[in-house]
Structure 1
């Protein structure tokens, strides 16, 4: 299996407290701002590495936006951050969001491929995580094994992998994903991953819903 062949599986993570040692600042050549309403199309394309994939999933992104953020568009645009280059072009994005109005999540974390490896993602996640108060924890996220580099970063910030079966309408594929992560992550990073039991209150909350909001 090469990186392009990694299957699309579900991984869930939880952070009970921020590891402040992971924090860093944005490189000086970049700036950060909120997404503007006229940039919704740009945001919908950000998760994908090529135009064909972005076009293929355009309907999915539109449906997700409607399901999750409808009626709260102003809050969405305020919370959705863009890291921009010197030309004010968005090259990374992320937001924190209270899914189902019940628990806090990190969503749509993405750095465009050509900008990876410059510390942009760590700096962006630092900004997002520092916006949260102690009472906002625990914080959850959903990811996939192809995002093994981001999983290492999440782990640095204090996120642990969640065990468990189904979360809402999605199956937790952690057992299937661990061998994939072990294959693609450097050994020292894989060995630092933590696995914890899913809190029952979280499991009960998310299992009430038949839509995905994180």
Structure 2
């Protein structure tokens, strides 16, 4: 299996306490700022390593925005951080969101390909995670096995893989994902991944939700 062939199975992770040893600082040639309202198209294009959203994904991204953030775009922009270069070009991003108004979640961690390998993802995730107080935990996220580098990064910060249970309207497909993660994540890092049961109270919290907010 090549990286491009990895299927989009569902992975869910939970962080009950931040591992502060994972935090890092942003390199001096870059800086943080919030996403601006006139940059929504830039943000939408991030997952595709493109300056524009591919036509076949435009409706999907618009639906994500409507379902998750549409009722409070002001908060979306204040919760969405860009890493920018000296030309003020956004080159990495991460967001956080109170999903369904019930729990904190991490969204859309992404570095554009030409800037990968400079620890920008770790830096922007650090900026987000430092903003939470102890009362904001646990924090949840959804990802896919194709984001195996991010899975390793999340684990560094204290996120654990969740097993078992239908989570909202999506199946938890960890069992299908583990062989893929084992193949693509370095052995020493894969062996550090922690797996815990999905808390029953969390399953109940989202069991009637039909939209994607994390």
TM-score (ref. length: structure 2): 0.97
Deviations 1:160-210, CA, capped at 9 Å, x for gaps: 000013111111110000000000110001000000011111110111211
Q: Kindly indicate whether the alpha-carbon contact (under 8 Å) linking 1:19 and 1:158 is maintained by their aligned counterparts in 2.
A: yes
Q: Call closer, same or farther: CA 1:63–1:208 in 2, change over 3 Å.
A: same
Q: CA deviation at 1:71?
A: 2.1
Residue in structure 2 matched with residue 169 of structure 1 by the alignment: 169
Q: Which runs of 5+ in 1 are unaligned?
A: none
For residues 26 and 136 of structure 1, the distance between their equivalents in structure 2, rounded to whole angstroms, comes to 24
Q: CA deviation at 1:51?
A: 6.0
Residue in structure 1 matched with residue 206 of structure 2 by the alignment: 206
Deviations 1:127-152, CA, capped at 9 Å, x for gaps: 00000010000000000000000000
Deviations 1:61-110, CA, capped at 9 Å, x for gaps: 11110111122111111111000011000011111110000000000110
Q: Secondary structure at the match of 1:33?
A: strand
Q: Kindly indicate whether the alpha-carbon contact (under 8 Å) linking 1:15 and 1:140 is maintained by their aligned counterparts in 2.
A: yes
For residues 205 and 161 of structure 2, the distance between their equivalents in structure 1, rounded to whole angstroms, comes to 18
Q: Kindly indicate whether the alpha-carbon contact (under 8 Å) linking 1:162 and 1:198 is maintained by their aligned counterparts in 2.
A: yes
Q: Which runs of 5+ in 2 are unaligned?
A: none
Of 199-208 and 47-56, more deviation after overlay is shown by: 47-56
Residue in structure 2 matched with residue 60 of structure 1 by the alignment: 60
Matched, 1:75 2:75: yes
Q: Kindly indicate whether the alpha-carbon contact (under 8 Å) linking 2:161 and 2:195 is maintained by their aligned counterparts in 1.
A: yes
Q: CA deviation at 1:49?
A: 2.4
Residue in structure 2 matched with residue 119 of structure 1 by the alignment: 119
For residues 81 and 55 of structure 1, the distance between their equivalents in structure 2, rounded to whole angstroms, comes to 25
Q: CA deviation at 1:50?
A: 4.1
Q: CA deviation at 1:55?
A: 2.9
Q: Call closer, same or farther: CA 1:36–1:50 in 2, change over 3 Å.
A: closer
Q: Kindly indicate whether the alpha-carbon contact (under 8 Å) linking 2:33 and 2:81 is maintained by their aligned counterparts in 1.
A: yes
- What is the aligned residue count? 214
For residues 78 and 67 of structure 2, the distance between their equivalents in structure 1, rounded to whole angstroms, comes to 18
Residue in structure 1 matched with residue 39 of structure 2 by the alignment: 39
Q: Call closer, same or farther: CA 1:78–1:53 in 2, change over 3 Å.
A: closer
Q: Kindly indicate whether the alpha-carbon contact (under 8 Å) linking 2:42 and 2:51 is maintained by their aligned counterparts in 1.
A: no
For residues 12 and 55 of structure 2, the distance between their equivalents in structure 1, rounded to whole angstroms, comes to 26
Q: Call closer, same or farther: CA 1:53–1:189 in 2, change over 3 Å.
A: farther
